[in-house]
Amino acid sequence: MCEKRTGKITKGSQMARVREARRLQRLNRIASTSTTEQSNPAPCPNLQAQKAAQNRVILELAWKTIALMHKNRLIQQKIIALQKETSEFVASVMNNPENRQRYMEQIRLHVIAQQMQRGNTEATNKPLEVEPNVQNES
């Protein structure tokens, strides 16, 4: 069995003090139940008040968490709808042959610039075989 500390805690963190106080309470409870096993010690009203306050805080946090999860789900649905709308818009823009030609020219210039940076000048004369992935949703 653990021996009881009689000295006062002078150093350490607040958590160490709280742990020590709880340990002493447990030891006192064990000692009181072993000497008088038939009598049930009534719980301290202060501890009941603290427990009720803790339960109230936990309940408030749970409600706030549920509200945040609900808001998150709504925002996620809006994001998905916006992504779908954006992809449909891009697809409709790319269906226009003039826009597709501009896009291909931009890609061609980008690839040529990258090849020039790498020092690969012989690949600039090759035709570019990049096609955009456009789905017709007509």
Give the up-direction half-sphere exposure of residue 69: CA atoms within 13 A in the CB hemisphere: 6
Domain-located, residue 106 = yes
Name, in order, each residue with C-beta under 8 angstroms of 104's C-beta and a sequence gap of 6 or more.
Answer: 128, 130, 131, 132
The answer to whether residue 70 sits within a structural domain is: no
Give the per-residue pLDDT at 125: 55
Whether residue 120 is contained in a domain is answered as yes
For residue 69, is pLDDT > 60?
yes
Q: Are 75 and 92 in contact (CB under 8 A)?
A: no
Q: What are phi and psi of 48, to 5 degrees?
A: -65, -40
Residue 34 belongs to a domain = no
Report residue 93 as tokens. Answer: 């823009």
Choice between 88 and 37, residue whose per-residue pLDDT is larger: 88
Angle between helices 45-94 and 97-118 (to 10 degrees): 100
The total number of structural domains in the chain stands at 1
Is residue 54 in a domain? Answer: no
Structural domain that includes position 113? 97-125
Are the C-beta atoms of residues 9 and 20 closer than 8 Å to each other?
yes
Average model confidence (pLDDT) for the chain?
78
Instruction: Please tell me the pTM assigned to this model.
Output: 0.41
Name the residue with higher pLDDT: 79 or 3. Answer: 79
- Is residue 136 domain-resident? no
Query: For 10-54, what is each residue's pLDDT tens digit?
Result: 556 777 888 888 888 888 888 777 665 555 555 566 888 888 888
pLDDT at position 67, please?
Answer: 95
Joined together, the tokens standing for residue 113 give 């610039």
Amino acid at 19: R
Is residue 119 in a domain?
Answer: yes
pLDDT 10s digits, 116-132 = 888 765 555 555 555 55
Q: Which residues contact 136 (CB under 8 A, 6 or more apart)?
A: 91, 95
In a domain, 102, yes or no: yes
Where do we find the tokens 């000497």?
35
